[in-house]
Amino acid sequence: MSKLALTIGDLAKSTQTKTVTIRYYEQIGLLPASKRNEAGYRIYDEADRDRLLFVRRSRYLGFSLDDIRELLGLADQRDASCASVDAKVAQQLEQVKGRIRDLQALETELNRLLSCCHGGVIEQCRIIESLSHS
């Protein structure tokens, strides 16, 4: 059975990640430095692809790069307790809930502004008036 060998372009395509992002993740240590073939081109294996997918999924869930670095460190400790991972996810969930509350307040305010409008001309627009005053 042959071992998976991907170029950076193949890795980018298979993970839907830009090549510049892959290089950046290598540069900041989220991905290990790639191996090189005889011609000097980057070569990636299945473990590299899986790690990049881990990073991509974590970014999708809103984790910061520092959080992802911490999660990767925890993932590398296979027999450790997952309590730290649970705590990190709970912390992220609280941040998401806070953003949702902020967005709901924003929605309420935009609906309030919209209800002020009764048509007419800009000179008499209550939305413009509301936005112009504190």
* CA dihedral (40, 46, 51, 56) positive or negative: positive
Q: List the chain domain ranges.
A: 1-80, 82-134
- Residue 134: predicted pLDDT: 65
- Residue 2: predicted pLDDT: 47
Average pLDDT over residues 40-56: 94
pTM, entire model: 0.80
- Concatenated DSSP letters of 48-103: HHHHHHHHHHHHHTT--HHHHHHHHHHHT-TTS-SHHHHHHHHHHHHHHHHHHHHH
How far is it, in rounded angstroms, from Cα 25 to Cα 44?
13
What tens digit of pLDDT does each residue of 65-118 get? 999 999 999 998 888 889 999 999 999 999 999 999 999 999 998 998 888 877
- Residue 53: predicted pLDDT: 97
Q: What angle do CA 8, 14, 23 make, to 5 degrees?
A: 30
Average pLDDT over residues 20-27: 97
Decide if domain 1-80 falls under CATH 3.90.1150.10.
Answer: no
